[in-house]
A and B are shown apart, each in its own frame.
Chain A
């Protein structure tokens, strides 16, 4: 790993808040310790977690730059033109989605491809993600490499790396976790230990980066 522990394409992050939901794409607000222009396409690095994203908005103030980041390549919010598909033999879901993804500069993987029918009418949309919603509903998410995954669930496996539960709100189902394995704490994974004996599935992750140099994971349990 090169660069600071938390960096934006090599630029040290002095504070930030990254949200990784179960469905959809991750977003993050970060402040870096320099004011120079940052590229539109960036890599957000926090320990062993690397997220490929694009800059939605950024401004410079007092020698620092703040940026709002969105996972992927910024394509799903781009407009799409109307298009009609027809194949008497059947149209595959992956073909329609990959068409749209390619047109806006994203990439997509469909876990279980299906036939949607012999016709599909794609409306002209101000945001290409509308096609995702029409064909997949909410069942898609952005993986760390910037590839949109279409699947019924996220990968599920137990977190086995070391972590400490710093605080826990049973009523809110919210855990504050100290860990070096930021890549392991993603929605879909499960955890339990001697303190939290009930097996919980991570629903949403917030990574809080403070000015004091701390990095904490806040996990909402499903």
Chain B
């Protein structure tokens, strides 16, 4: 429905009545939500501004420039696509406060952010997978590098007492112990020290295979302790 048509000026009584009503509601137009088309976008989320024009040219509203975006979902900021539609409203019905409140879903860029954590639930269950994996992975590799540095010259790594010490058929006991300690609290049972698959000439025991199979299975874990894709904690704390 386009903008309402005014009464015929031939009807003086009705015209006068409508004028009185409109005079008492001067901000009526600014209580609506209007569909606009994005003409240009400036900046990046969360500080995008938009130039847009009404899709219905019969509306009594002008094209707008440099209008800020306001997300209807906390933590979400996007950069809309030129030519797509957006919704314009006026905060508190105030013509001095236009904002873009929504756009078509195919945006150029979308940001998700929160001061504490971002949770994404799946499978209709109470389980959740933590998304902040990069930090956890970097943390784990940092600890592993410290472990390596503690072993001194790499040429001595296979010597007795070193973490990668192995004889043919004999697993790296110290390495297994160290890895188990790193994953302490992950609800993995303490693995037996037995011969397992090798990788890169070093003997990686069943611990390594366990990590691979656990990541592959991605079990639902409400506690966040089991290492799954995105599990932030492979050790408690």
Interface residues of A (CB under 8 A from B): 81-84, 86, 91, 116-127, 129-130, 133-134
Contact = CB atoms under 8 A, between A and B. Distances in A.
B61 A133 contact: no
Nearest to A127: B19
A130 B96 contact: no
B23 A133 contact: yes
Nearest to B23: A133
A91 to B, nearest CB: 8
A84 B26 contact: no
Contact of A121 (B6, B22, B95): B95
Given A82-B60, A86-B66, A121-B61, A134 B19 contact: no
A73 to B, nearest CB: 19
A81 B23 CA distance: 18
A130 B95 contact: no
A221 to B, nearest CB: 25
Interface of B: 6, 19, 22-23, 26-27, 29-30, 60-67, 90, 94-98
Contacts of B26: 130, 133-134
B98 A121 contact: yes
Nearest to A120: B96
A127 B23 CA distance: 10
Scoring B22, B60, B94, B98 by chain A CB atoms within 10 A of each residue's CB, the highest score goes to: B60
Contact of A116 (B29, B96, B98): B96
A84 B64 contact: yes
A125 B61 CA distance: 10
8 shortest A-B CB distances, which residue pairs?
A117-B96, A133-B26, A124-B60, A82-B62, A123-B60, A84-B62, A134-B26, A121-B95
Nearest to B22: A130
B60 A84 contact: no
Contacts of A116: 96
A120 B65 CA distance: 11
A126 B6 contact: yes
B101 to A, nearest CB: 15
A84 B65 contact: yes
A129 B23 CA distance: 9
B96 A83 contact: no
B23 A121 contact: no
A124 B63 CA distance: 12
Nearest to B24: A133
Contact of B98 (A81, A119, A126, A134): A119
A119 B61 contact: no
Contacts of A86: 65-66
A86 B26 CA distance: 21
A91 B60 CA distance: 21
A134 B92 CA distance: 13
A121 B65 CA distance: 11
B60 A121 contact: no
Given A126-B6, A133-B26, A134-B26, A121 B62 contact: yes
